[in-house]
Amino acid sequence: MENSQHELYEYARRRLRQKKHLYFHFVLFFVGSIFMITANKLLNVKPETDWYKWGIAVWGFVFVLHFIRVFITDSFMNKKWERAQIDKLILKQERKLEQIEKDFNQKHNSTN
């Protein structure tokens, strides 16, 4: 397998694993929510408060963060984006070094 094909394969495998974990997280969230409602309402675990609402809300927030990471953040911040950022930073550093060298040469030539 060529290097570029291997990179594409690894990227696809990593994305598939991320999505698989997200789907598992959703199923776990769904089952956990049903369990919390059942425990609070039917099994009378602290029935004086509706604590299941807080549990579901916090867990739902964590799930939304996980969803954003998988489908929004990681979809555009991939290897291609990383390479572009590295190239941009290298170019910026090279320009700074050229400017420092230019300034040094100007000061050195003006003293002679």
Mean pLDDT by 10 residues, the chain (112 residues): 80 91 97 96 88 96 95 79 87 92 84 63
Residue 19: predicted pLDDT: 94
Residue 73: predicted pLDDT: 86
Residue 4: predicted pLDDT: 76
Residue 112: predicted pLDDT: 59
Residue 106: predicted pLDDT: 86
3-state SS class at 48: coil
Count of CB atoms situated within 10 Å of the CB of 19: 13
Q: In the block, which residue shows the tokens 């291997």?
A: 6
Q: Are 70 and 18 in contact (CB under 8 A)?
A: yes
Q: Is 37 left (phi over 0), alpha (psi -120 to 50) or beta?
A: alpha
**Distant-in-sequence, close-in-space partners of 42: CB < 8 Å, separation ≥ 6:** none
Q: State the pTM of this model.
A: 0.67
